[in-house]
Structure 1
Amino acid sequence: MNHQVLTDELEAVARSAGAAIMDFYGACPRVKLKTDGSPVTAADNAAEAIILAALAKQASHIAVISEENERSHELQAPQRFFLVDPLDGTKEFLKNDEAGAFTVNIALIEHGQPVLGVVYAPALDRLFAGTVGSGATETCKGKRRSIAVRSPPAEGPVAVASCSHRDDATERWLAENDISDTISIGSSLKFCLLACGEADIYPRFGTTMEWDTAAGHAVLRAAGGHVTTPDNKPFTYGKPDFRNGPFIAASGAG
């Protein structure tokens, strides 16, 4: 299937999953803790069921690694596979505040790199989609526009950082690079703010999983940005346990 056609279809899937999540938003769903201590709710599971059923129908020949399907974490990553986080930013979801910084993430990985991705923030009605080689878009309140990274402003780059996982290493990196203007936001929206030109750089030193980053990374790549390790090496997918190391996401070619 053509990558752009698949991206378009996944937008509809992400919207359906987002609608299921919103059915639970503000309803104080019961929270369980997974073996790694992270929270999971009925909203995570409902969204995942929708996504997995859709992928099984649309692309049954492609393996799926999904956050809430722990059996899939035991797979050895093939050359082509989906990475799914049905509710990225569960902690932000549980806050039930006006920020609404939680997302549905769906990405396709080929040969270690994300080639397409969809990130949907249902509480904000912002849907970002990107196909590497074809560009990236944002659809908000029914209006669709092309997006691309910007050149950093003359007064200096704007960084995005995690709301729930900001650490001392991030603060040191920002200080060492003389970056004082920062935006705090949750989930993979951090990648998307870079992709649509609202920010310029996203340093991350704490642990993330591949399903946390792949969709946002794809959107950023499609918009002209890149993600590398802090020592400027390629940032790849299909690692053991699907666990990420530190990375720097930024605007500009790379």
Structure 2
Amino acid sequence: MDYSHLARQLIRPVEEAGRVIMNIYCGPSTIKFKPDGSPVTEADRAAESILLPAIAAAAPAISIVSEENPASHEFVAGCQFFLVDPLDGTKEFIRAGGDGAFTVNIGLVTKGVPVMGIVFAPALNRLFFGSASGGAFEISSGNCRPIAVRKPEPRGIVAVASASHRDLATNQWLEDRGIKQIVSIGSSLKFCLIAAGEADVYPRYGPTMEWDTAAGDAILRAAGGNVLAEDGSPLRYGKSNYRNGPFFAFGGG
């Protein structure tokens, strides 16, 4: 499969989902809560209704696991499957006057490895995509450019950390390494900022699900970075509960 071609096929529906999200973001929105207490809005559902048919049309033989479709969580992940989060960073979405750091995520996993990803931040007009076979790119204001991780600058390492889920373990990890420059931002944009050479490391101890990370992880790997589990091995996908343990995303150097 040509992962790069597949990513480019899916850019248009991702952008369409982003436009629908922004229409809701700019108007009144209904917020509900899932059994685990996490929020879900009509924007999640509206975006999903665009993404899932488009993915199925582009790759009909590949299963889709979507955050907002609990029935899809029940199947045993096979050799290859999509992980979809139609609105990552819902807390950022519902926070009035926030930084707009919410995203649309599509990731493709093959044999436990994220091989293709698309992340779109519609409020920021930044779309990132990448694949194991085609490198990583950003589209902004209609311009498409290749992106790559950077070597840490002499002035010091820049970390990105969760805006809504930062914990004591993360703070301790940063303190132990003397990292002073920390950008707090929501959603999968943290991976993308490292992929674009705007930051260097993202430590995560708090809970995440595979659909939160697969797309950004694929883009970062395509840009020359890596994402490691706590034991130092590459983060893998397709666990029975789709839940990640602690992980650390790195750029170059």
TM-score (norm 2): 0.98
1:185 to 2:180 alignment: no
- Supply the AA of the counterpart residue of 1:194: I
State the 1:141 CA deviation: 0.8
CA contact (8 A) 1:87 1:102 kept: yes
Within 2, Cα distance between the matches of 1:37 and 1:75?
Answer: 23
Within 1, Cα distance between the matches of 2:251 and 2:195?
Answer: 7
1:33 to 2:38 alignment: no
CA RMSD of aligned residues (A): 1.1
Determine the structure 1 residue equivalent to 2:196.
Answer: 196
Determine the structure 2 residue equivalent to 1:69.
Answer: 69
- Structure 1 moving runs of 4+ over 2 Å: none
- Supply the AA of the counterpart residue of 1:87: L
Determine the structure 2 residue equivalent to 1:125.
Answer: 125
Determine the structure 1 residue equivalent to 2:135.
Answer: 135
1:208 to 2:208 alignment: yes
32-41 vs 91-100, which deviates more? 91-100
Determine the structure 1 residue equivalent to 2:4.
Answer: 4
Structure 1 residues 60-115: Cα deviation after superposition (integer angstroms, max 9, x where no partner): 11000000000111111111000000000000000132511000000110000100
State the 1:165 CA deviation: 0.4
State the 1:56 CA deviation: 1.7
Structure 1 residues 149-169: Cα deviation after superposition (integer angstroms, max 9, x where no partner): 000011221000000000000
Determine the structure 2 residue equivalent to 1:110.
Answer: 110
State the 1:26 CA deviation: 3.0
CA contact (8 A) 1:116 1:215 kept: yes
Structure 1 residues 195-248: Cα deviation after superposition (integer angstroms, max 9, x where no partner): 000000000000000000000000000000000012312210001210000000
- Supply the AA of the counterpart residue of 1:82: F
Within 1, Cα distance between the matches of 2:243 and 2:92?
Answer: 21
Within 1, Cα distance between the matches of 2:35 and 2:74?
Answer: 15
Determine the structure 2 residue equivalent to 1:224.
Answer: 224
Structure 1 residues 20-68: Cα deviation after superposition (integer angstroms, max 9, x where no partner): 1111003231111001110001100000010011112111110000000
Secondary structure class of the residue paired with 1:68: coil
Secondary structure class of the residue paired with 2:25: coil
Within 1, Cα distance between the matches of 2:189 and 2:138?
Answer: 12
- Supply the AA of the counterpart residue of 1:59: A
1:169 to 2:169 alignment: yes
Secondary structure class of the residue paired with 2:137: strand
Determine the structure 1 residue equivalent to 2:80.
Answer: 80
CA contact (8 A) 2:3 2:133 kept: no
Within 2, Cα distance between the matches of 1:178 and 1:100?
Answer: 29
Secondary structure class of the residue paired with 2:24: coil
Change (3 A) 1:99 1:91: same
CA contact (8 A) 1:25 1:96 kept: no
Determine the structure 1 residue equivalent to 2:247.
Answer: 247
Within 1, Cα distance between the matches of 2:29 and 2:98?
Answer: 18
Secondary structure class of the residue paired with 1:214: helix
Secondary structure class of the residue paired with 1:24: helix
CA contact (8 A) 1:28 1:94 kept: no
Determine the structure 2 residue equivalent to 1:45.
Answer: 45
